[in-house]
Structure 1
Amino acid sequence: MLGAVPGSGAAERVLDAHLRRLEDGLADARRELSLIRVMIDQREQPMTTTPADLRLTVPAEELAAALDAVRFAVGGDPEAPALAGVLFEPDGPVLRLVATDRYRMALAEVSATAGPDRPTCGAIVPTALVDALRALLGAGAAEVALTLGGGLVRAETGGHRIEGAALDFDYPDHRVLTRLEPEHRIDLSAAELRGAVETGATRTLPSGPNGADCAVTVLTLTADGRLTVAGPDSGPGSVPGELRVAVNRDFLLDALRAARPEQLVLELGGPIAPLAIRTPGRAGTLSLLMPVRVPDLG
């Protein structure tokens, strides 16, 4: 690494790859600890379960991928306790997972087989139980049986079972944002966009959670359909047909890491509309980032 040609960027790429491996390892360790905590709680404080309202069977691999796609957007604000988990929302032949912290939202769908009565019963699964479930899915079983109802969430797979209380709150309606029609759709390489955002210019603005300062990336869609990262001193676009959208840089990188495909579809509706990131081939999987208002962008 130190022997790389100066200016080639090889050293930076090695460090970035090492950082991603560390982040993935830390996420795995957190999931394992959550699973251990849930199992200890169940042993020391066994729950008395009630008859379930809904039983679902879902492919374990699909559910693991869906949890990975939405976990980054779970809220952590104690003043918004309803957002401290993932919404499990049955919808016909699919189970939809939704997470949001009000600044971003992530959705993913899993094919699901329900019982004959197919009652409608969703549940907000708390963060610790979400992480424990994700760790349990690494055991190699093909399917997982989910039970939602009576204020409880239960998962059974590979001879193991975990359960816990669902969050007793009303979840915000996510359909309002998902029904918005974008003005522009751009197919692009995920790696190229991630590289451009990681190395591109940013602005520091008080637009993070609780008004904290954060790095903001300004994406520019040129009149000929090219997406670029705007420079640090760029003002309002003066080229006809040019569109600029500002988003929290860290949130954008989180969404790109969660998507993990080779190609992405970005949907833009304007400077004040959410930026949508879709995964080709997975119609129900997308991330939405709320735009950041930058005064000199108009």
Structure 2
Amino acid sequence: MRGIGEAARASGLSVSALRFYDGAGVLVPAEVDPATGYRRYTDEQVRAARLIAGLRRVGMPVAEIARAVHDLGDPEAVRRRLDRHRHRLEDGLADAKRELLRVHALLDLEENLMTRITLPAAALAATLDAVRFAAPAGTDGPVPAGVHAETDGMTLTLVATDRYRLAAAKAAASIEGPPARAFLPLTFVDQVRAVRTGQVTLDLTAEAAKAETADGVVETKPLPFEFPDFRRLLPPGDQRKQITVDTAVLREAVAAAPATMREHEGTAYEISVLGIDPAGSVRLVAEGEWAADAASHVAVRREFLLEALDAGAAGQLVLELDGPIKPLAFRVPGDDSRFSILMPVRH
């Protein structure tokens, strides 16, 4: 029999550690003097203490150490426990390496004022599809041909406008680095939008934008354009008349309706006039009916209306009307992540 001091020296555990494992029920001494409380250990228990010391050094939990001590008479069972613990350590080390690499990347992003946005290519393409129609067709207007991108928390917001219409859509993403705002050229946008598989990583700075996709790397320089605060253009939906429409039915009606021509600044275009019928549904208003109830009508460019319906959700859309001089808005029912508006025209 060995006293606790000798057992400590022989096993590599401290006296306090032996007392701890006694209290935890992992290694209870063979004898305890009832008068002095002095503990004594057998040679077999010293062997168990050596096992405990080794397992403790590799970070095995106390409960697992207790089971290993219990299985000491079955070396194969102990070896299996050791193997399972080694696998846990290896997995934990791999996780730690990945996290350290992520932290290093985050430090690099912060140092270079770069924002990294990662999301599925299909999700990014769908979000771009929802706004692309509202981007300017040429480069000679007051708004450059591009799409505005900005980050907020774990959300990427994309917005496009040509002054006559505006579309905004959001996508959930993994975002690292500081909040970002960039106006991306349409050439870059369309290259990224064409990729529908795999993941996309967007790196944004004030001077550069880069997209890594399954098809390769696309790089550009953001346009020097300060995008307006689009959120101020549309009042909350509960302050406007909201009507749910069947997207396909309305589109078919608009496409089949007789054209009404208008001209502005030398440009000829067709218009469509939408109104609210007595039943509270949206209808196309014929030219001769405009004067009957002008307050419930809104006229918009027919081409823009068709494109907005095509970019909207399949099935249903919520239209928001607020008279002839307020924008006509489109929302997806139950989804605040996207909307579009068309500016009215004189009718």
Q: Which runs of 5+ in 1 are unaligned?
A: 1-49
- In the alignment, the residues of structure 2 paired with residue 211 and residue 176 of structure 1 have an alpha-carbon distance, to the nearest angstrom, of 30
Is the 1:278–1:287 Cα contact (8 Å) retained in structure 2? yes
- Report the alpha carbon displacement of residue 76 of structure 1 after superposing the two structures with TM: 3.0
**1:1-298 pair list within 5 angstroms:** 51-80=112-141, 82-115=143-176, 118-135=177-194, 137-138=195-196, 140-141=197-198, 143-158=199-214, 160-181=216-237, 182-207=239-264, 210-238=265-293, 243-294=296-347
**1:284 partner amino acid:** S
- In the alignment, the residues of structure 2 paired with residue 168 and residue 158 of structure 1 have an alpha-carbon distance, to the nearest angstrom, of 28
- Report the alpha carbon displacement of residue 112 of structure 1 after superposing the two structures with TM: 1.6
- In the alignment, the residues of structure 2 paired with residue 265 and residue 280 of structure 1 have an alpha-carbon distance, to the nearest angstrom, of 6
Q: Which has the higher contact order (CA 8 A, sep 6+)?
A: 1
Larger Rg: 2
The two structures have a TM-score, normalised by structure 1, of 0.74
- In the alignment, the residues of structure 2 paired with residue 133 and residue 150 of structure 1 have an alpha-carbon distance, to the nearest angstrom, of 19
Is the 1:202–1:232 Cα contact (8 Å) retained in structure 2? no
**1:119 partner amino acid:** P
**1:269 partner amino acid:** D
Is the 1:83–1:99 Cα contact (8 Å) retained in structure 2? no
Q: Relative to 1, partners in 2 of residues 1:235 and 1:187: Cα closer, same or farther, differing over 3 Å?
A: closer
- In the alignment, the residues of structure 2 paired with residue 235 and residue 70 of structure 1 have an alpha-carbon distance, to the nearest angstrom, of 31
- Report the alpha carbon displacement of residue 108 of structure 1 after superposing the two structures with TM: 0.6
**1:174 partner amino acid:** F
**1:90 partner amino acid:** T
Deviations 1:45-74 (A, max 9, x none): xxxxx9452111122221110111111111
Q: Relative to 1, partners in 2 of residues 1:258 and 1:102: Cα closer, same or farther, differing over 3 Å?
A: same
- In the alignment, the residues of structure 1 paired with residue 274 and residue 341 of structure 2 have an alpha-carbon distance, to the nearest angstrom, of 15
Give percent identity, aligned residues only: 40
- In the alignment, the residues of structure 2 paired with residue 77 and residue 247 of structure 1 have an alpha-carbon distance, to the nearest angstrom, of 21
- In the alignment, the residues of structure 2 paired with residue 202 and residue 78 of structure 1 have an alpha-carbon distance, to the nearest angstrom, of 29
Is the 2:290–2:297 Cα contact (8 Å) retained in structure 1? no
Is the 2:317–2:330 Cα contact (8 Å) retained in structure 1? yes
Higher relative helix content: 2
Q: Secondary structure at the match of 1:285?
A: strand
Deviations 1:169-204 (A, max 9, x none): 211221211345442111110011001111123321
Tell me which stretches of 4 or more aligned residues in structure 1 moved more than 4 Å.
none
- In the alignment, the residues of structure 1 paired with residue 202 and residue 225 of structure 2 have an alpha-carbon distance, to the nearest angstrom, of 20
Q: Secondary structure at the match of 1:119?
A: coil
**1:78 partner amino acid:** T
Q: Which runs of 5+ in 2 are unaligned?
A: 1-110
